[in-house]
Amino acid sequence: MIVTVSLFFIVIILLLYLESRKPEGYPPGPKWWPILGSAMEVARIRKDAGYLFKTCSILSEKYGSVIGLKIGSDRIVILNDYNSVCSMLTNPDCEGRPTSIMYKERTWGKRRGLILVDGKSWIEQRRFVLRHLRNFGYGRNSMAAIIEEEALKLVEHFEKLLREEYHDINDNINRTSSVSNNHDISINNDDEIYELKNNITENKSKIFQYNVNDKYNIDKEINNENNFHDKLNIKLNDNKSNNTFTSRQMIISMHDAFGVTVLNTLWRMMTGKRFNTGDETLMYLQKIFTKLFYEIDMIGAPFSHFPLLRFIAPKLSGYQFFIETHQQLWSFLYKELENHKDTFNPDAPRDFMDVYLSVLKSKECSKTFSESQLLAICMDLFIAGSETTSKTLSFCFLYLILFPNVQKKAHEEIDRVIGDGRFPTLADRTRMTYLNAIVLESLRMFMGRNLNIPHRALKDTYIMDHRIPKDTMIIVNFNELLMNKSWSDPEEFRPERFIDKNGRISVQDQYFPFSIGRHRCMGETLARSNLFIVITTLLQKFTFSVVPGEQKPSTLDFHDGVTAAPKPFKVLVTAKT
């Protein structure tokens, strides 16, 4: 018995020792400890740095541009410069996707979908999706029409709020003659009613009502921990128009104003449907996924690095919320699938989902096709189709209010090229250099705070003379490509950096926010088109500025997670006359 126990402990100690040894030729990085790997060192640096991409940059300064980590059971290599990134993205041996538990549990225990699969499944499904989405408009004139229509719907929504929700402040000022110039306009904590502070009158006068969260039916409880609704103190004499707001102004939350618009452009091709801005289910789903994406990141989650935590501490490790969040989206998508099956006509496919169902009913259906795979594709496109582009737009308008000179130049180009007699179209893009440069700069500001979707080494390979063992996760730190010192003023929002001396668009070799190689983002065309049309259409009709009396929002303080996102911020929207 004693011998058996002794041998058991010897084997355990030996395994722990071997686990803490780095593979020969592996990139340099922090020391590995048994079970934990380098998790403690990464966590310590991240706590000080605040963001994962900054953590990678700090490690890069110490260990070089190619960093070798191990977090729990996962070997992870971080790439921090142009040469190593290009070497990896063009290497066929690095075209895999991670296989850890997180990437399986999101799609019913098996890797499915488009974004996080590889091999035959990825090749067949990607080819099929692109081919048939084109049949329903993707990359064609009909896609442009959808994007333009959705941008107009957003403008109409803004105009409706201006028209119906605003009560002219000037009328209230006239009726409340006892209010002195020293009294404030403030906002209550639930962000619904702006009021004139009046210590004399018992009933405070409503100025105007607008809550973008309520209008989009967002579950407020989700944002409690990030509650930024401090009371605004907007002095009447801070306003530039004779101490009054005009009847064509409003204050809105801008960080979450684009989700429905962006998703609709893709969802109409996928399911033949569009969502209204007040769709409770849609906005709830988008909001819980936003919360989930704050709690995990591109390299995984605690339950992913340490799989036993799923059973020992499901709530603390994030596993429970991860599964519950995905289950709600699965239920939403399953209802849509059942609706399509009930109304399916094989002779008249209405959208991509109908086409996929047709393949499933055919005798020559490949094994990579299934109803679960269809749902996983819809989930990938639902999340990716709204998450990244929406956040890029949020960063764009955050910078536009902080850099009004950029917005002024954009207005001038819009007035010169389009005027106010018609709405912008994608056909205008070739004549609008400055707006194109704003799109490029917005993408830089967004992706420059992110890591890429992880790759996986399909077999032992090399990156910049470093040996990368099979199944190692490989990550690109885009911050070191898009916001490094080579940009001279990386934190400045300066679209002119993309315009050469001849007035043409010019980009650096290291500028590839949609990645390169075979895993280049399949939604690039849609994303670029969405960004151009939404930005141009909104700027044609409105001016966006910092709310008078409110502290300017920061570009250095934002949400970390799967993708970066601005902290909630408000803007003063003024209709152009």
Which residues line the annotated binding site?
A: 521
Question: Helix 352-361 and helix 259-271: axis angle, to 10°?
Answer: 40
Question: Helix 319-342 and helix 371-402: axis angle, to 10°?
Answer: 110
How many whole angstroms separate alpha carbon 542 and alpha carbon 248? Answer: 10
Ramachandran angles phi, psi of 490, nearest 5°: -60, -30
Question: Which residue shows structure tokens 């399509």?
Answer: 340
Question: Which residue shows structure tokens 């002779």?
Answer: 347
Contact 397, 254 (CB under 8 A): yes
Binding-site residues for heme, in ranges, read 521
Closest alpha carbon to 254 in 409, 399, 443: 399
- In a 13 Å sphere around the CA of 96, the CA atoms on its Cβ side amount to 19
3-state SS assignment for residue 333: helix
Residue 545 CB partners (closer than 8 Å, separation 6+): 401, 404, 571, 572, 574
Contact 82, 510 (CB under 8 A): yes
DSSP string computed for 215-234: HTT--GGGGGGG---PPPEE
Angle at 443 between CA 440 and CA 444, to 5 degrees: 85
Contact 334, 328 (CB under 8 A): no
How many whole angstroms separate alpha carbon 470 and alpha carbon 92? Answer: 13
How many whole angstroms separate alpha carbon 545 and alpha carbon 565? Answer: 19
Three-state SS string across 275-323, please?
A: CCCCCHHHHHHHHHHHHHHHHCECCECHHHHCCCHHHHCCCCCCHHHHH
Tokens (6 digits) for 128: 């099929």
How many whole angstroms separate alpha carbon 175 and alpha carbon 544? Answer: 29
Contact 283, 259 (CB under 8 A): yes
Contact 260, 241 (CB under 8 A): no
Tokens (6 digits) for 287: 């909001």
DSSP string computed for 396-456: HHHHHHH-HHHHHHHHHHHHHHT-SSS---GGGGGG-HHHHHHHHHHHHHHHTT-BPPPEE
3-state SS assignment for residue 35: coil
DSSP string computed for 177-226: TT--TTPEEEE-TTS-EEEE--SS-SSPPEEEE--HHHHTT--GGGGGGG
Closest alpha carbon to 467 in 189, 75, 175, 49: 75
